[in-house]
């Protein structure tokens, strides 16, 4: 049972000293110092426990830095519903789209670190610092990672008219026609753009980049045959694969995805180090008390591991995944390092 009342323990040190001195006969000054140290430790422990028990004291706002309807929004609403049930406090999903997710992300970075404002973040948070001229937060300094919740690979898809049945055939086609095949993306500096550059570097090919205002429009033009290929999200591609309107060549994770198990990985077909995921996780403002961080991590991990929620994520072509806060921080640091190198070598800049 959670409460919003804060109880602070009270210690009458002088009274404790007098009583202890009668019993032990120790010099009052020495005894006073020992008791004050012990009292401080007890107070810190008790305050820590009370802080955890009193959370959450009001509704929790989970910021989604995108418009409603996307993958981040879907994951946030699934988690929010389960956390509402568990906490007995409403989790409000607040969509704050704009500036390639940076508006909503900065909002959380500046929020009070009390656990009542959270961020449902994704892969672009580790790419934006390198493709945008100004980012008003530091991902590792200004946030407390809580846990990953889900991920899915990106997928290289082509229109059925493209004369390449496999990834190797597509690469051979690109090498035979250097600078002629185009590759759509969700925009300059978007995840699909950066992954596309990574692929070209690893495969030793050069494609014409065609940026769109979002992954959806790029995918729509591949389906319509306006451009031959794009990297896209697995959930977005699966319906078109089943309808025969797209052909998938490879996915960007080391293991095949449950959403499209017939599609090989880049690694399987001999193109190494094209590894990326469209991941989703929860972060809070830096300075979050450890007791609350532990509570949040426990609740998210239990939510994601619940069979019904896992089934729902899989139905969306997402892979359920959980981490400790420390593992999530290590993952973010590795992502930042990887994308910094790709962006620098490809000289990518967002418009």
Question: Residue range 60-69: average pLDDT?
Answer: 95
State residue 127's pLDDT score. Answer: 97
Which range among 11-15, 75-79, 227-231, 319-323 shows the weakest confidence by mean pLDDT?
A: 11-15
Residues 127, 121: Cα–Cα separation, whole Å:
12
Strand ranges, E, within the chain: 60-64, 91-95, 117-122, 143-151, 154-158, 182-185, 208-211, 229-233, 247-251, 280-285, 319-320
In a domain, 8, yes or no: no
Per-residue pLDDT of 196-218, as tens digits, reads 999 999 999 999 999 999 899 99
**d(Cα 82, Cα 278) in Å, to the nearest integer?**
22
Q: What is the mean pLDDT of residues 218-243?
A: 95
For residue 4, is pLDDT > 50?
A: no
**What is the domain count for the chain?**
3
Share of the chain above pLDDT 70, in %: 85
Q: Are 123 and 195 found together in one domain? A: no
- Pairwise pLDDT comparison (6 vs 23), residue with the higher score: 23
pLDDT-derived band at 310 (thresholds 50, 70, 90) equals: very high
Q: Answer yes or no: do 216 and 73 share one domain.
A: no
pLDDT at 350: 87
Question: Looking at residue 19, what is its pLDDT?
Answer: 54
pLDDT for 231 beyond 90: yes
Return the pLDDT at 128. Answer: 96
Q: Which of 11-25, 41-55, 162-176 has the highest mean pLDDT?
A: 162-176
Same domain, residue pair 180 and 143: no
Above 60 in pLDDT, residue 38? no
pLDDT at 295 over 90: yes
Let me know whether 162 and 245 are in one domain. Answer: yes
Q: Which residue has the tokens 């910094």?
A: 340
In a domain, 270, yes or no: no
Residue 179: the pLDDT is: 85
**Mean pLDDT of the chain, nearest integer:** 88
Segment 22-43 mean pLDDT: 49
pLDDT greater than 80 at residue 36: no
Residue 26 lies in a domain: yes
237 belongs to a structural domain: yes
| CA 62 to the chain's CA centroid | 13
* CATH number of the domain enclosing 241: 3.40.190.10
Domain range for residue 178?
154-251
Instruction: Please give the pLDDT value at position 48.
Output: 44
Q: What's residue 54's pLDDT?
A: 87
Looking at per-residue confidence, does 107 or 45 come out higher? 107
- The reply to whether 243 falls in a domain is yes
pLDDT (average), residues 235-244: 93
Q: Same domain, yes or no, for 85 and 107?
A: yes
Q: Is residue 45 part of a domain?
A: yes
Could you tell me if 145 and 158 lie in one domain? no
Q: Give a three-class secondary structure readout of 118-183.
A: EEEEEHHHHCHHHHCCCCCCCCCCCEEEEEEEEECEEEEEECCCCCCCCHHHHHHHHHHCCCCCEE
Residue 234 pLDDT exceeds 50 = yes
Strand, helix or coil for residue 276: coil
- pLDDT(230) > 50: yes
167 and 246 housed in the same domain: yes
Residues 147 and 160 in one domain: no
**Across 69-73, 115-119, 279-283, least confident range:** 69-73
Domain shared by 142 and 291, yes or no: yes
The pLDDT of 145-167, averaged and rounded, is 97
Is residue 25's pLDDT more than 80? no
- pLDDT (tens digit per residue) in 103-112: 999 999 999 9
pLDDT value, residue 17: 45
Q: Are residues 247 and 163 in the same domain?
A: yes
Residues 160, 135 share a domain:
no
């Amino acid at each position: 049972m959670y409460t919003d009342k804060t109880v602070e323990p009270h210690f009458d040190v002088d009274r404790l000293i007098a009583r202890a001195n009668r019993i032990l006969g120790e010099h009052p000054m020495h005894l006073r110092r020992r008791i004050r140290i012990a009292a401080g430790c007890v107070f810190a422990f008790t305050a820590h426990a009370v802080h955890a028990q009193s959370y959450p004291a009001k509704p929790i706002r989970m910021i989604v830095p995108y418009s409603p309807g996307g993958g981040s929004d879907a994951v946030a609403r699934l988690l929010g519903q389960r956390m509402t049930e568990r906490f007995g406090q409403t989790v409000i999903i607040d969509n704050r789209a704009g500036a390639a997710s940076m508006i909503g992300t900065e909002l959380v970075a500046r929020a009070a670190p009390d656990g009542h404002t959270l961020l449902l973040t994704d892969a672009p948070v580790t790419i934006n610092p390198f493709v945008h001229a100004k980012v008003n937060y530091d991902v590792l300094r200004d946030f407390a990672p809580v846990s990953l919740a889900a991920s899915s690979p990106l997928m290289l898809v082509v229109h059925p008219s493209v004369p390449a049945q496999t990834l190797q055939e597509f690469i051979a086609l690109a090498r035979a026609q250097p600078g002629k095949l185009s590759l759509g993306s969700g925009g300059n500096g978007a995840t699909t753009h950066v992954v596309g550059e990574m692929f070209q570097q690893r495969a030793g090919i050069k494609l014409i980049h065609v940026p769109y205002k979002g992954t959806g429009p790029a995918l729509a033009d591949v389906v319509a045959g306006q451009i031959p290929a794009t990297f896209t999200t697995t959930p977005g591609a699966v319906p078109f694969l089943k309808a025969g309107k797209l052909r998938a060549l490879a996915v960007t994770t080391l293991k095949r995805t449950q959403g499209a198990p017939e599609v090989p990985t880049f690694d399987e077909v001999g193109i190494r180090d094209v590894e990326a995921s469209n991941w989703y996780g929860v972060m809070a403002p830096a300075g979050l008390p450890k007791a609350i961080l532990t509570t949040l991590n426990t609740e998210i991990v239990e939510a994601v591991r619940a069979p019904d929620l896992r089934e729902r994520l899989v139905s969306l072509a997402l892979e359920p995944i959980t981490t400790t806060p420390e593992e999530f921080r290590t993952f973010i640091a590795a992502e930042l390092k990887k994308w910094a190198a790709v962006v620098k070598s490809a000289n990518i800049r967002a418009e």
